[in-house]
């Protein structure tokens, strides 16, 4: 498995070695030992989640705070998404910076976000199945987020505003500046 460091401190792109033959394909999607040896990051994933969404669905930018912060390993099983990580660790050298990556069923890339990152994605294909591993359980009282169209971050979601589909809750998230006052 190839593991590449991103411009964001402690975020990594994982590219598995895919073995294909006439029957289909196989790949190892995660190996804790190899991941630790390549990144120095020790994670113990305890929960797997999956979403199904149609084109234009934007989920994010979400994160958990305090003792319920979550590291995530995300990937696309079917379709194509633009995935976003925003460093919200105030003591980090990359605080307030973000990274985008296209994840798809074809490229099979995965994106690792350590604790302290806001996360979101938008579906670029007609539909997408998106899966992610978490190293901590969800806690409603610890959920937080930043509005997708935050003027400070100025993220290009690659779709026009009228193509985006958001939950009512995601439309009401605070700006980056308001959250970190």
Q: Before 61, cis peptide (omega within 30)?
A: yes
Residue 93 burial by CB count (10 A; 0-12/13-18/19+): exposed, middle or buried? exposed
Give pLDDT tens digits for 12-66: 999 999 999 999 999 889 989 999 999 999 999 999 999 999 999 999 999 999 9
**Parallel/antiparallel/unpaired status of strands 72-78 and 110-113:** antiparallel
Write down the catalytic residue from 98, 119, 132, 148.
132
Predicted pLDDT of residue 1: 82
Total-model pTM: 0.94
Instruction: Decide if 42 is catalytic.
Output: no
In this structure, which topology does domain 2-179 adopt according to CATH?
Jelly Rolls (2.60.120)
Give pLDDT tens digits for 74-123: 999 999 999 999 999 999 999 999 999 999 999 999 999 999 999 999 99
In whole angstroms, give the CA distance from residue 8 to residue 25.
31
Instruction: Decide if 62 is catalytic.
Output: yes
In whole angstroms, give the CA distance from residue 151 to residue 91.
22
The sheet carrying 117-123 orders its strands as 98-104, 80-87, 117-123, 58-64, 143-145
Write down the catalytic residue from 25, 62, 98, 137.
62
């Amino acid at each position: 498995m190839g593991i590449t460091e991103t411009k964001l401190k402690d975020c990594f792109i994982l590219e598995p070695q895919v073995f294909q033959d006439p029957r289909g394909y196989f790949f190892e999607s995660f190996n804790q030992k190899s991941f630790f040896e390549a990144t120095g990051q020790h994670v113990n994933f305890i929960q797997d989640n999956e979403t199904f969404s149609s084109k234009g669905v934007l989920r994010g930018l979400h994160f958990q705070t305090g003792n319920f912060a979550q590291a995530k390993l995300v990937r696309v099983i079917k379709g194509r998404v633009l995935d976003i990580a925003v460093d919200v660790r105030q003591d980090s050298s990359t605080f307030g910076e973000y990274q985008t990556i296209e994840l798809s069923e074809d490229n099979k890339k995965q994106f690792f976000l350590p604790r302290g990152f806001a996360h979101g994605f938008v579906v670029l294909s007609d539909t997408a199945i998106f899966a992610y591993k978490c190293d901590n359980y969800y806690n409603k009282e610890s959920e937080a987020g930043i509005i997708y169209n935050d003027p400070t971050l100025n993220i290009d979601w690659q779709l026009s505003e009228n193509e985006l589909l958001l939950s009512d809750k995601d439309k009401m998230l605070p700006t980056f500046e308001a959250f970190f006052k």
